[in-house]
Amino acid sequence: MSELQTLQVDLLARVEGAASIEAVEAIRVEALGKQGRVTALLKSLGGMTPEERLVEGPAIHALREAVTGAIGDRKAALERAALDGKLAAETLDMTLPVDRIAPGSVHPVSQVMDELAEIFADLGFAVASGPEIEDDWHNFSALNIPETHPARAMHDTFYFPEAGEKRMLLRTHTSPVQIRTMLKDKPPIRIIAPGRVYRSDSDATHTPMFHQIEGLVIDRGITLGHLKWTLETFLKAFFERDDIVLRLRSSYFPFTEPSVEVDVGYTMVNGKRVIGGSEGWLEVLGSGMVHRKVIEACGLDPNEWQGFAFGTGVDRLAMLKYGMEDLRAFFDGDLRWLRHYGFAALDVPTLSGGVGVAA
Amino acid sequence: MKFTLSWLKDHLETEADLPTILTALTRIGLEVEGVDDPAERLAGFRVARVLTAERHPQADKLQVLSVDTGDGVALQVVCGAPNARAGLVGVLGTPGAVVPANGMQLRVSAIRGVESNGMMCSSRELELGDDHDGIIELAADAPVGTPFADYAGLGDPVIEVAVTPNRQDCMGVRGIARDLAAAGLGTLKPLAVEPVAGEGAGPDVRTHDPAGCPAFFAQNVSGVTNGASPDWMQRRLKAIGQKPISALVDITNYVMFDLGRPLHVYDRAKLTGGLVARAAKAGEQVLALNGKTYTLAEGMTVIADDAHVHDIGGIMGGEDSGVIEATTDVLIECAYFTPEAIARTGQALNLTSDARARFERGVDPAFLGDGLAIATRMVLDLCGGRASGVTRAGQPPVERASFVYNPLLALTLGGLDVTEERQRAILEALGFDVTDDWHVTPPTWRRDVDGPADIVEEVIRIEGLDNVPSTPLPRAEGVARPTATPEQRTERRLRRAAAARGLNEAVTWSFVPAAQADIFGGGAWTLANPISEDMKVMRPSLLPGLLAAAQRNLSRGATGVRLFEFGRRYLADAERPTLAVVLAGERTPRGWQGGKAKAFDAFDAKAEALALLEAAGAPVANLQVLGEAGEAWHPGQSGTLRLGPKTVLAAFGIVHPSVAKAFDLGGPVAAVELYPDAIPAKRSSGFMRLAYAPPALQPVRRDFAFVVPAALSAEQLVRAVRGADKAAIVEARLFDVFEGAGVGEGMKSLAIEVVLQPGEKSFTDAELMAIADRVVAAAGKLGAVLRG
């Protein structure tokens, strides 16, 4: 074995055996430092003849490279081991729980109103609103319900004390928004008007406050056939089913003529009524062709303009679609109920994503 | 309105079966609300004769009967009734039958080792009476084997329909029959009216109130015997829920339900002089048949004799002159009361009756004479006696206005193409007169019909709404346009932002107790007729409802409550859209990281308010925090967020502890009330954003710590610092507050990080020094001193 080879074997063995970065560094200085043995060999190249250099040069350079590489590798290995050791000491129990705020929720009434707005927007209906504290002209008289009309007895009205000319009350339906819209806007009109309404009624299925949605179309040449199509189309879109069956019944509302009550067919599934089919019927909508007197009361010519109106309970639609059973729970603010029946913030009804939210 | 199938068939000649009739009723607008078919309930119960009765071998109180059920085979039945004996004809429930009283299905079974093939029944078991001492005993000649319902005449289904307020004619069975006949379910039988000529002068009746009672017809019958009404009449009245009282009373009720014609019968022995329909004097009193005394207002129509008021006209008779068993001489009243007057009086007295329901809708004004004749004939037939002549005081309003109808309207309004001939046939079947040139006169019993649209309804409902073809609404070209208004968009964003922040949306009552309204400034609107004291005042704030809901949740075991509501406040001048948040209980539960559970504080409320305002598009950076949230708030831990000194966008903070206590809430309760209508509208300028121009150079950060008077608000200082060099300073953020040792009494230290944005060139040291000097100077104006 040559001197160089002996030196290389010795150095590499010591590098391999070095236990710390400091020890490796000491070997580096000893071999490759200014006074290092390998450095001395490199310097000796200057004093050689070209022939000698041709032989010795590559061997010395090879020695330098081997030692440099071994030192680098050994240093990296030692650093890696040191980091591994440090990280191992930092181990935490990753099964520990994290802080998590319970998600919020949107009330079913709001969600269903958003769904309705989305569906009717596609049919060209805007959303209108009006005051809940109404006067009796907008709530009754303009809707062809005179004071002595038996229909007033059908509405259990909340009144405010008499003061001034107008008797103020809590609107008993969203129909006054029809009047306000016709007074304000020029036909053609297509609106829906959701909102709170009030009747002094309280039992298992009635609450003194609930939500209705009104629909109104005023245009030329609108017939009962358009009403029928609109309601069918809306209910199919709302329940997202094609097997929706409607049953129209002649009825009476003072502000429509002819008046039509609409039942929707249901099927019993696991003891629950599911909309679709026609095993039984649920009353869902009141509707009809807007009465001439109502159109006149709003300053429009009933010979030119005609149309239809409909109204339905928003809470009731929510119950039929999502399965709540007790109307009173809607207004209790019970977190357990709100989380159970509520909707996620990102459940925004869209036509492309579907207006309903799967259970 | 209830009636039985056989009653309907008195007026309607029809082959239709019950289901067909029910479907037709609903279809033409007489919605079937219920059907009770006693025959169905009593299926499996038959008339049976006991042939032999032997002692049960194993039980003293039981007998073993052999029963003849009419099919030739004697059935063995075990029976415990004391009256069971050979020869008795009773009612046997056969296996499979369901006992109405308890819902038990009968089966062949062994009772103490002896087979029993059914049950002999008591009245109570069949829900026919309270008798449970023994089994039913029928007449000895009752036909054995006949279904019991048939034998007992109980096989008459009772139908209940909802009659809408416009249908005066369907408040009697005959009107319903007429509608069904027009709908093609048979033919309307002619009504037999046999005028009773009577002897002598009619009774002395007059009307002095032609507005309230335009017509008052009457006839006397003398020498009547007022016993029980006949079985057939009692059965029908009972079937529709009316209690039989006496022949005379039952006759008036029967005619009312049969023909929609209310009547009243007076005991003449109790009258002083003639009867007059007149306007009541204020304060007059009458003891009505329901046992209550009513004090009348001036102008209410009454029937009175010389002495006093006997009848609240068209609504309820008086107790004093009502007929009793001993009555012998009667006066039968058949009058027309004006619907509007009846409605006003009925509403004012809060008194409902079957008569009011009919007069209020309007009875047939052309049916006074016939109605009276039918009633008088019935009294003579059932109670005997002699009739007087008829008095016809006043004139009922029988005139009907005719109008022109264009048959094309069925299509252009009703959407259904119906031939002219068919329309004419429908109208005539309903009693309308139609001339060749389509002048239509409604019948006297349809005062609701007064225009062409009503005729369309008649045609369409009889022809069938199901036949109206669905017609698509014309659709605007292209994709549907957005319809939501800016307010609606704001509402949606707020709602979804709140839910995304972990808040649960509640919907609470619009009305609150007066005391709760008072806490929040008092309500401007108080109901005159609240349903309860707890739902009396329209809320001036959304917080009472949410605080009450939070309390309910905590008492149900919730640990942390984050509720919000979007709704209206009802102020004197307007209804204002509002969003409120209530944070109660634990903000964070105890945890391995955070230690103890933490309660909510005012800064949680502020954080919600700012986040929600930002979501709603409010210029959050320009908002100022000021005080004066109101008396419902903690005076030192609440504030308002304003745009300028006046526009309040939100109030936030800790609810005043005394308010929380009033709602039974312990611990700090944080809340926000946010006013979306105060947020300035966004100036719409299309979709194009400003050009993107990020600064070329990195920002520079410098920290300043100031000692300031403790009363100085952080915001004032930050604002002053930010304003010290509007070109260079892009942000100033408070990051430390310190009070205590080293700062000095009545002072505090506020540390602010200032972000400086260089423009084209980096700041020089001199420039940075100058900016720092301006910052220190601006703060100095507020009494702030740079900490050494």
Does residue A226 belong to any structural domain of this protein?
yes
Buried b (16+ CB within 10 A) or exposed e, B549-575: bbbbbbeeebebbbbbbbbbbbeeeeb
Q: Residue B123: pLDDT band by 50, 70, 90 thresholds?
A: confident
CB atoms within 10 A of CB B253: 22
Q: Is B285 exposed, middle or buried (0-12, 13-18, 19+ CB in 10 A)?
A: exposed
Element (H, E) at A340: helix A335-341
Smallest Cβ distance to B504: which of A117, A229, A339? Answer: A339
Domain boundary among A36, A54, A89: A89
A136 and A39 share one domain: no
Binary contact (B167, A252; C-beta < 8 A): yes
Q: Residue B303 belongs to a domain with what CATH number?
A: 3.50.40.10
Does residue B191 belong to any structural domain of this protein?
no
B334 and B409 share one domain: no
Domain boundary among B373, B394, B415: B394
Backbone angles phi, psi at B129, to 5 degrees: 175, -175
Name the A residues in 1-40 with CB < 8 Å from any B CB.
none
A14 and A68 share one domain: yes
| B475 interface with A at CB cutoff 8 Å | yes
Does residue A350 belong to any structural domain of this protein?
no
User: Rounded to whole angstroms, what are the CA distances from B777 to A83, A101, B705, B718?
Assistant: 51, 44, 13, 13
Residues in chain A with CB shorter than 8 Å from the CB of B591 are: 97, 99
Does residue B693 belong to any structural domain of this protein?
no
Does residue B685 belong to any structural domain of this protein?
no
* Radius of gyration over every alpha carbon of chain A, rounded to an integer in angstroms: 42
Smallest Cβ distance to A124: which of B164, B476, B488? Answer: B476
Binary contact (A229, B472; C-beta < 8 A): yes
Does residue B480 belong to any structural domain of this protein?
no
Q: Residue A160 belongs to a domain with what CATH number?
A: 3.30.930.10
Contact B361, B261 (CB under 8 A): no
Does residue A301 belong to any structural domain of this protein?
yes
Element (H, E) at B554: helix B543-555
Buried b (16+ CB within 10 A) or exposed e, B517-529: bebbeebbbebee
* Radius of gyration over every alpha carbon of chain B, rounded to an integer in angstroms: 42
Smallest Cβ distance to A248: which of B466, B469, B495? Answer: B466
B621 and B525 share one domain: yes
Name the B residues in 334-373 with CB < 8 Å from any A CB.
339-341, 343-344, 347, 360-361
- Euclidean distance between CA atoms A38 and B283, whole angstroms: 132
pLDDT 10s digit of each residue in chain A, 359 long?
678 888 888 888 888 888 899 999 988 888 888 888 888 888 888 888 888 888 888 888 888 888 888 889 999 999 999 999 999 999 999 999 988 878 999 999 999 999 999 999 999 999 999 999 999 999 999 999 887 775 566 568 999 998 878 889 999 999 999 999 999 999 999 999 999 999 988 777 789 999 999 999 999 999 999 999 999 999 999 999 889 998 999 999 999 999 999 999 999 988 888 899 989 999 999 999 999 999 999 999 999 999 999 999 999 999 999 999 899 999 999 999 999 999 999 999 999 988 999 98
Smallest Cβ distance to B528: which of A125, A160, A222? Answer: A160
Smallest Cβ distance to B456: which of A202, A258, A261? Answer: A258
B247 and B291 share one domain: yes
Q: Residue B29 belongs to a domain with what CATH number?
A: 3.30.56.10
- Euclidean distance between CA atoms A335 and B560, whole angstroms: 10
Closest CA to B370 of B263, B446, B267, B277: B263
Instruction: Tell me, letter by letter, the H, E, C secondary structure of B140-204.
Output: CCCCCCCEHHHHCCCCCCEEEEECCCCCHHHHCHHHHHHHHHHCCCCEECCCCCCCCCCECCCCC
Contact B252, B375 (CB under 8 A): yes
B548 and B532 share one domain: yes
User: Rounded to whole angstroms, what are the CA distances from B655 to A108, A333, B519?
Assistant: 28, 19, 11
Specify the pLDDT at position A1: 63
CA end-to-end distance (rounded Å), chain B:
93
Binary contact (A226, B472; C-beta < 8 A): yes
A321 and A202 share one domain: yes
Contact B332, B375 (CB under 8 A): yes
Residues B608-615: what's their mean pLDDT?
A: 97
Does residue B187 belong to any structural domain of this protein?
no
Q: Scanning every residue of chain A, which has its alpha carbon at the shortest distance from the alpha carbon of B503?
A: A104
Contact B411, A221 (CB under 8 A): no
Binary contact (B471, A133; C-beta < 8 A): no
| B563 interface with A at CB cutoff 8 Å | yes
Binary contact (B413, A148; C-beta < 8 A): no
CB atoms within 10 A of CB B181: 19
- Euclidean distance between CA atoms B387 and B410, whole angstroms: 50
User: Rounded to whole angstroms, what are the CA distances from B720 to B714, B731, B737, B788?
Assistant: 10, 12, 17, 20
Element (H, E) at B36: strand B31-36
Does residue B289 belong to any structural domain of this protein?
yes
CB atoms within 10 A of CB B777: 11
| B591 interface with A at CB cutoff 8 Å | yes
The fraction of chain B above a pLDDT of 90, given in percent, is 71
Distance from CA of A269 to the nearest CA of B (A): 23
Binary contact (B415, A133; C-beta < 8 A): no
Residue A118 belongs to what domain range? 108-341
- Euclidean distance between CA atoms B557 and B492, whole angstroms: 31
Contact A276, A243 (CB under 8 A): yes
Q: Scanning every residue of chain A, which has its alpha carbon at the shortest distance from the alpha carbon of B458?
A: A258
Contact B58, B64 (CB under 8 A): no
Does residue A63 belong to any structural domain of this protein?
yes
Residues in chain B with CB shorter than 8 Å from the CB of A169 are: none
B300 and B387 share one domain: yes
Residues in chain A with CB shorter than 8 Å from the CB of B470 are: 225, 228-229, 232
* ipTM for the assembly: 0.89
Sign of CA dihedral A323, A328, A331, A333: negative
Does residue A99 belong to any structural domain of this protein?
no
Instruction: Tell me, letter by letter, the H, E, C secondary structure of B346-357.
Output: HHHHCCCCHHHH
Residues in chain B with CB shorter than 8 Å from the CB of A154 are: 165
- Euclidean distance between CA atoms A120 and A110, whole angstroms: 15
- Euclidean distance between CA atoms A116 and A263, whole angstroms: 18
| B505 interface with A at CB cutoff 8 Å | yes
CB atoms within 10 A of CB A267: 15
B328 and B284 share one domain: yes
Specify the pLDDT at position A154: 56
A312 and A163 share one domain: yes
Name the A residues in 166-195 with CB < 8 Å from any B CB.
168, 170, 190
Closest CA to B24 of B487, B341, B464: B464
Tally of domains in chain A? 2
Specify the pLDDT at position B308: 87
Q: Scanning every residue of chain B, which has its alpha carbon at the shortest distance from the alpha carbon of A330?
A: B507
Q: Scanning every residue of chain A, which has its alpha carbon at the shortest distance from the alpha carbon of B341?
A: A148
Instruction: Output the average pLDDT for chain B.
Output: 92
| B416 interface with A at CB cutoff 8 Å | yes
Residues B689-714: what's their mean pLDDT?
A: 93
| B180 interface with A at CB cutoff 8 Å | no
Specify the pLDDT at position B470: 94
| A159 interface with B at CB cutoff 8 Å | yes
A7 and A143 share one domain: no
Does residue B471 belong to any structural domain of this protein?
no
Smallest Cβ distance to B414: which of A168, A224, A344? Answer: A224
| A79 interface with B at CB cutoff 8 Å | no
CB atoms within 10 A of CB B592: 8
Backbone angles phi, psi at B158, to 5 degrees: -100, 125
| A103 interface with B at CB cutoff 8 Å | yes
Element (H, E) at A113: helix A108-122
Domain boundary among A37, A62, A89: A89
Binary contact (A121, B508; C-beta < 8 A): no
Residues B470-492: what's their mean pLDDT?
A: 91
| A236 interface with B at CB cutoff 8 Å | no
Q: Residue B727 belongs to a domain with what CATH number?
A: 3.30.70.380
Tally of domains in chain B? 6
B19 and B68 share one domain: no
The full DSSP string for B233-269 is HHHHHHHTTPPP--HHHHHHHHHHHHHS---EEEEGG
Specify the pLDDT at position B397: 93
Name the A residues in 291-350 with CB < 8 Å from any B CB.
291-292, 306, 330-336, 338-339, 342-346, 348
- Euclidean distance between CA atoms B126 and B44, whole angstroms: 12
Does residue B108 belong to any structural domain of this protein?
yes
Q: Residue B463: pLDDT band by 50, 70, 90 thresholds?
A: very high
Specify the pLDDT at position B379: 95
A60 and A125 share one domain: no
Does residue A328 belong to any structural domain of this protein?
yes
CA A132 to chain centre: 28
B582 and B433 share one domain: no
- Euclidean distance between CA atoms A231 and A120, whole angstroms: 11
Residue A109 structure tokens:
């009434």
| A75 interface with B at CB cutoff 8 Å | no
Q: Using DSSP, state whether B501 is helix, strand or coil.
A: coil
Specify the pLDDT at position A150: 59
Specify the pLDDT at position A204: 72
Binary contact (B451, A114; C-beta < 8 A): no
**Is B601 part of any known ligand binding site?**
no
Sign of CA dihedral B61, B62, B66, B68: positive
Smallest Cβ distance to B339: which of A148, A200, A333? Answer: A148
* Four-CA torsion B232, B234, B238, B240, nearest 10 degrees: 60
B331 and B276 share one domain: yes
**DSSP strand pairing (B386-394 vs B264-267):** unpaired
**DSSP strand pairing (B560-570 vs B504-505):** parallel
B50 and B146 share one domain: yes
Task: Write down the residue that tokens 């009502």 correspond to.
Answer: B322
| A230 interface with B at CB cutoff 8 Å | yes
- Euclidean distance between CA atoms B743 and B415, whole angstroms: 86
Listed in sequence order, the DSSP H helices in A155-195 are 176-184
| A164 interface with B at CB cutoff 8 Å | no
Domain boundary among B359, B394, B429: B394
Helix and strand numbers (H, E) in chain B are 20, 40
Residues in chain A with CB shorter than 8 Å from the CB of B403 are: none
Domain boundary among A38, A58, A89: A89
Listed in sequence order, the DSSP H helices in A215-291 are 224-239
A116 and A262 share one domain: yes
Q: Scanning every residue of chain A, which has its alpha carbon at the shortest distance from the alpha carbon of B549?
A: A333
Name the B residues in 725-754 with CB < 8 Å from any A CB.
none
Q: Scanning every residue of chain A, which has its alpha carbon at the shortest distance from the alpha carbon of B338?
A: A148
Does residue A98 belong to any structural domain of this protein?
no
- Euclidean distance between CA atoms A289 and A222, whole angstroms: 9
Binary contact (A333, B553; C-beta < 8 A): yes
- Euclidean distance between CA atoms A123 and A230, whole angstroms: 8
The full DSSP string for B465-498 is GGGSPP-PPP--SSSPPP---HHHHHHHHHHHHH
Binary contact (B593, A330; C-beta < 8 A): no
Residue B26 belongs to what domain range? 2-37+157-180
- Euclidean distance between CA atoms B499 and B612, whole angstroms: 10
Listed in sequence order, the DSSP H helices in B623-663 are 657-662
Dihedral class, residue B441 (left if φ above 0, else alpha if ψ from -120 to 50, else beta): beta
B295 and B231 share one domain: yes
B517 and B423 share one domain: no
Buried b (16+ CB within 10 A) or exposed e, B307-324: eebbbbbbbbbbbbbbbe
